[in-house]
């Protein structure tokens, strides 16, 4: 049986290291049937992989 690590290796893929937490927070809170998340940001090579844009007007 293949492991996820072996499959990634077969495909020539490598996962980046897990980034350090940007702060002390609870990543998710459940309220009834809702799950609210916070601090789940896309990081790549230790920095933000996404650039936010804001509307002007």
Place of tokens 């896309």: 42
- In this structure, the chain runs to a length of 57
In a domain, 35, yes or no: yes
Distance CA 16, CA 49 (A): 12
Three-class DSSP category at 32: coil
pLDDT in tens, 29-42: 899 999 888 767 77
Q: Whole domain around residue 44: which residue ranges?
A: 19-57
In a domain, 11, yes or no: no
In a domain, 5, yes or no: no
In a domain, 37, yes or no: yes
Asked whether residue 20 carries a pLDDT value surpassing 70, the answer given is yes
How many independent structural domains does the chain possess?
1
Query: To the nearest whole percent, how much of the chain has pLDDT over 90?
Result: 26
Asked whether residue 51 carries a pLDDT value surpassing 90, the answer given is no
In a domain, 3, yes or no: no
Angle (CA) 20 44 18, round 5°: 35
In a domain, 4, yes or no: no
């Amino acid at each position: 049986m293949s492991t996820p690590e072996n499959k990634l290796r077969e495909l020539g893929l490598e996962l980046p290291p897990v980034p350090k937490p940007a702060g002390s927070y609870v990543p998710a809170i459940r309220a009834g049937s809702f799950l609210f998340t916070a601090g789940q940001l896309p990081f790549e090579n230790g920095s933000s992989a996404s650039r936010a844009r804001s509307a002007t007007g």
